[in-house]
Structure 1
Amino acid sequence: MSSYELRRESATVPRRSSAHALDTRISLLRDIAHADQRLEGVLLYGSWTLGEADAHSDLDAYLFVNDADADTFDGRAFVEQLAPLKLAYTNMYGILAVVFDDLMRGEFHVEAAGSAVAEMASWRGVVHFPDPDRAVLLDRTGRLTAAARALAEYEPPEPVATAQQLTDELANWTLMLAHVLARGETARAYALLHTVIAPQQLQLCRLLRGSTTHWLTPSRALEEDLPAGDQERYTATTCRAVDAGVRVAARKSWQWTRDLATEAAQRWRIALPLPLHENIGTQLAAER
């Protein structure tokens, strides 16, 4: 199939029918990357490299540009060769974020190859590529493949220090939640509960259950990864952004945190600030 035919197919396959559109677009990305001598390498990351991609998955990649071309390389123009774009902008993390015409999302890190490939060594323990040869679409020097293969083995979080960090974080943030509720800031309390506290609870829960594959996005595949009892405890901490609901969810959230923290302390002998825990519980109980 020619590059033109691949491009046309990737733009017309319905977004939500199958994962075929993503496979096709990745094939086209490989083709145009090999044809562009400004690129030293292209590395995929995300669900496709983990074998978990479906019709709703994004296309996520690093574009490692030769140092001499880094200042003039137009990431948007390069990505637009894959399919027409409905949206393209540099997001808050400095990443080129796009939406293709079939509503597939994409994120492209455009990096100068010289230093960026070397920095992959610092990803150890955070990122892993179970099939590095699948993740590497282009490697003109061999450096990228070597770096990806060094990240092939998954290194789960070290449990003791991680549990200590998470239990301390949860105590601190829940105290802030109690203060915010006392001030009557329902919307802010809702945001704290769902975007700050809940992800850390899920990480602590995953650590205790030995289910850390989706560590960086702990809500991902929660229904498959965690037991029904844990799912129920998590669900009980969710609510509508109304005052009474947030207050009830906050108390249930703190009880789950205390149960998780107690379990972690018993298993790994971590230290818990128990007087502070009592203070937090008392303050949340008063906010009815």
Structure 2
Amino acid sequence: MPHTRPAHARTAAPTAPAPLPVDCLPLDRRIELLRTTAEADPRVEGVLLYGSWTLGEADAHSDLDACLYVREEDVDAFDGREFVERLAPLKLAYTNMYGILAVVFDDLMRGEFHVEPTGAGIAEIATWRDQVHFPRPEAAVLLDRTGRLTAAVRELAAFDPPEPVATAQQLTDELANWTLMPAHVQTRGEHTRAHNLLHAVIAPLQLRLCRLLRGSTTHWLTPSRALETDLPEAEIERYATTTGPLTPEAVRTAAANSWEWSREPAAEAADRWGTRLPLGLHEEIAGALSPAE
């Protein structure tokens, strides 16, 4: 069934919402409850959703991610946990490493809630360009008592694909630099660290370069998202060769495979866009990743 959405952000006095379809997702119901709960609380001047909902890709496994914009005179005393508990019982609620209220509802749905003062919080949205994309602003803004939130979000409605030449050069250079690190740390016997670098740092760079070459930049900000449908199967298979168990031999093989894969899209980008390839350095990196004789 299609995923139901609010038709527009509410700026007027609360009105009785249209009933949701009986087969709608739990996320739809919780978002509708968030809207009505915020409307009923005069301290909350705006609610902005982000994440998969705003991209039209939310499903039964999606999180509920929202910014709550609270009146300046109320924000210091605003209890975010108490507000969120009005939506459903919580199994977990804490301030995460980024200073955001993170929760787990009783049905195991995850959530993140930023609590921001209205003025400064809405002004900060302008700094999100190239980091956050709101293709459907009216679906993202659940509540906007002043109109300022909707206006700010509309400025981020258009997604500008990355400029190919400069971006390909940046990614090519990043891959060379970062791939040297697992080469070095493996010689210390830090195979766990090398294993982590391959997946946490290098793989996202590789996937972005592949996306750039294939013209598949919709999920640029989270390059592993929807990978199975966004990139050719052959490239997913190459990615798979960079993974493996955490044993010294497997990590060495994965690191060598990773660099071999990195060099292919880097060479393709050089052929297409004329980006620079430090071929001598690339060969030295390959040598550094080769198993010791």
Tell whether the structures are fold-level matches, with TM greater than 0.5. yes
Aligned ranges for residues 246-261 of structure 1 at < 5 Å? 246-261=251-266
Give the Cα–Cα distance (whole angstroms) in 2 for the partners of residues 108 and 153 of structure 1: 24
Question: Matched residues in 1 for 2:216 and 2:136: separation?
Answer: 20
Match of 2:143 in 1: 138
Tell me which of 258, 275, 278 is aligned to 1:273: 278
What secondary structure does 1:216 align onto? coil
Q: SS of the counterpart of 1:106?
A: strand
Distance in 2, matches of 1:71 and 1:165, equals 42
The 3-state SS of whatever aligns with 1:129 is coil
In the other structure, the counterpart of 1:110 is: 115
Amino acid at match of 2:131: V
Alignment-derived partner of residue 220 in structure 1: 225
Q: Deviations over 1:199-219 (max 9, x none)?
A: 111111111111111112111
Question: Residues of 1 paired with 2:111 and 2:282: CA distance?
Answer: 43
Verify: 1:55 aligned to 2:60, yes or no: yes
How far is 1:19 from its partner? 6.1
Residue by residue over 1:27-80, the C-alpha shift from the partner in whole angstroms, topping out at 9 and shown as x without a partner, is: 000000011111110000111111111111000011111111111111111111
SS at match of 2:87: coil
Q: Which deviations, in whole Å up to 9, do the C-alpha atoms of 1:64-114 show, x marking residues without a partner?
A: 111111111111111111001010111111111100000000011111111
Which amino acid counterpart does residue 159 of structure 1 have in structure 2?
P
Q: Does the 8 Å CA contact 1:61/1:108 hold for their aligned counterparts?
A: yes
Match of 2:85 among 64, 71, 80: 80
CA distance in 1, matches of 2:227, 2:72: 41
Question: In the alignment, what sits opposite 1:174?
Answer: 179
Q: Which residue of 2 aligns with 1:262?
A: 267
Runs of 4 or more off by more than 4 Å in structure 1?
A: none
**Which residue does the alignment assign to 1:245?**
250
Alignment of 1:127 onto 2:140: no
- CA distance in 2 between partners of 1:242 and 1:49 (Å): 41
1: CA distance, partners of 2:292 / 2:242: 16
- 8 Å contact 1:70–1:111 — kept in the other structure? yes
Residue of structure 2 in register with 1:152 after alignment: 157
> How far apart in 2 are the matches of 1:86 and 1:150?
36
2-structure distance, mates of 1:287, 1:124: 46
2:14 corresponds to: none
Equivalent position of 2:216 in the other structure = 211
Give the Cα–Cα distance (whole angstroms) in 2 for the partners of residues 67 and 209 of structure 1: 46
The answer to whether 1:32 aligns with 2:19 is: no
Instruction: Determine the structure 2 residue equivalent to 1:46.
Output: 51
Shift, 1:287, TM fit:
3.9
Residue identity matched to 2:253: V
Aligned 8 A contact 2:252 2:291 in 1? no
2:143 & 2:225 partners in 1: Cα distance? 29
Map of 1:100 onto structure 2: 105
Query: SS of the residue aligned with 1:49?
Result: helix
In structure 2, the partner of 1:3 is none
Report the residue type matching 1:266 in the other structure: D
User: Any idea what the Cα deviations from partners look like across 1:141-190, whole Å, max 9, x if unmatched?
Assistant: 10011111111111112222221221111111110110011111111111
Equivalent residue letter for 2:226: A
What is the CA-CA distance between 1:286 and the residue it aligns to? 3.7
Aligned residues: 274
Q: Which has the higher mean CA deviation after the structures are superposed, 89-98 or 162-171?
A: 162-171
Q: Which whole-Å CA distance do the structure 1 matches of 2:232 and 2:159 have between them?
A: 22
Gaps of 5+ in 2: 1-16
CA contact (8 A) 1:247 1:287 kept: no
| Structure 2 length-normalised TM | 0.90
RMSD (CA atoms): 1.7
Secondary structure at the counterpart of residue 68 of structure 2? strand
Does the Cα contact within 8 Å between 1:63 and 1:111 map onto a contact in 2?
yes
User: Of residues 235, 238, 255 in structure 2, which corresponds to 1:233?
Assistant: 238
The Cα of 1:129 is off from its aligned counterpart by 1.3
